[in-house]
Amino acid sequence: MTVLEVRASISLASIFALRLLGLFLILPVFAVYAQSIPGGTNATLVGLALGIYGLTQGLLQIPYGAASDRWGRKPVIAAGLVVFAAGSFVAAAATDIGWTIAGRAIQGAGAISAAVTALIADSTRDEHRTKAMALVGASVALTFAGSLVLAPMLYPIIGVRGLFAMTGVLVVAAIGVLIWVVPATPLASASAQRDNEPRTAAVLFDRQLLRLNAGIFVLHAVLMAMFVVIPLLLVGGGLPLEQHWKIYLPVVMLSFALMAKPLIVAERRALMRPLFIGSIVLVLGAQLGLLLGGDTLLWMALWLLIFFTGFNILEASLPSLVSRLAPASAKGLALGIYNTAQALGLFAGGALGGAIVARWGSAAVFVFAAILTAGWWLIALGMREVPVTTGSEPVPI
């Protein structure tokens, strides 16, 4: 990768991570905090406060992605970051659960993921795109793991309001990164964009893209459903909440080490399809393992390692495959649809996971996740290998 490709990938991955920081950072502590504010004892409203972020993200990813195709990536990303920061400050100032829900909804309305991933695709050559997207996948997993470690430590010091305010400040700083650190790319004329722009339906119903969009929905639905019960299982296994990082941090870091070599080899030898399908099998195996043999901390750590290895490979390869399959003039639209599926998966996984636990117990969550993953595996069997065009130049936007 060139210096500009590395700079673009790292800076954009850091901006991308902030989209999920607003979701993940409050997960370990919000239910406790909510008890102290008006309306916070209503479990339905607490769940809505957690989930509405993913819902507004999902509704607005396509408009943001399509707008970035027409008016450029950077202006759309900057606008989304401003909205995201505003929502963070509204949530920080909230005095009851209603205003907290409003702040979370506004946060989600800063739906920049499609535009960011499209800009990464535009800024990297085809043969290096998976490595660039791997940084995005790493940012997701690191943000998730870091949130689980940091939130219980910061909560006694600054509270949930402080966590929201900190997120807002970081997002404002990210606007500076976007302006001064992310390399510029040439902007194609609007008329040229319109002349070459495919119909939305053609992108939305493309069979290969549909497989990938279904996949990211399932992957994030499974993630959120799992973590409705995993913290409780760890506590039941004798590990207090404030020590959960002793499981999460080693598992996530080791999974990064395990994902690197297979991704590099698959990329060089055009073996992304078998790696992709094999990674789905890892996710499925982890669900079955947690269902049938996750009764001790050691076994839970092992199954979580298997899960995160598959998760990280899929998180890195999915957006790269979308960017390759999408028409050049509609990458933002295609990635908008993809990120819509991702956000709706987060929302659905959390909501359904909670409902399943309430009705059938913790083990049923893993049954649900295994069925979803098995269905995805069957869908993925029909995918074809996506060729890499070596030596290609980044596509201008």
What is the pLDDT of the chain when averaged over all its residues?
A: 81
| DSSP structure class, residue 310 | H
What is the rounded distance in angstroms from the CA atom of residue 161 to the CA atom of residue 174?
20
Taking residue 291's Cβ as centre, other Cβ atoms within 10 Å add up to 17
| Angle at CA of residue 147, ends 145 and 149, nearest 5° | 75
Which two three-digit tokens encode residue 189? 């004329």
Confidence of residue 117 (pLDDT cuts 50, 70, 90): confident
Output 143 or 198, whichever has higher pLDDT: 143
Confidence of residue 370 (pLDDT cuts 50, 70, 90): very high
Helices 73-93 and 129-180: angle between axes, nearest 10 degrees:
70
Q: What is the pLDDT of residues 188-213, one digit of tens each?
A: 434 344 444 556 677 777 888 888 99
Assign 3-state DSSP to the chain and report helix, strand, coil percentages, each to 5: 85, 0, 15
What pLDDT is attached to residue 195? 44
Residue 394 has pLDDT above 70, yes or no: no
* 44 CB-near residues (< 8 Å, 6+ apart): none
Q: What is the pLDDT of residues 161-177, one digit of tens each?
A: 999 999 898 888 888 88
What pLDDT is attached to residue 137? 66
Mean predicted confidence (pLDDT) in 53-79: 86
What is the rounded distance in angstroms from the CA atom of residue 300 to the CA atom of residue 286?
9
Contact between 300 and 98 under an 8 Å Cβ cutoff? The reply is no
Contact between 75 and 127 under an 8 Å Cβ cutoff? The reply is no
Mean predicted confidence (pLDDT) in 16-33: 74
String of DSSP letters for 133-191 = HHHHHHHHHHHHHHHHHHHHHHHHHHHHHHHHHHHHHHHHHHHHHHHHTSPP-PPPPHH
Taking residue 306's Cβ as centre, other Cβ atoms within 10 Å add up to 22
What percentage of residues in the chain have a pLDDT greater than 90? 20
Which two three-digit tokens encode residue 230? 């995993």
Going along the chain from its start, the domains and CATH numbers come out as 3-380 (1.20.1250.20)
What is the rounded distance in angstroms from the CA atom of residue 301 to the CA atom of residue 251?
7
| Angle at CA of residue 146, ends 143 and 147, nearest 5° | 80
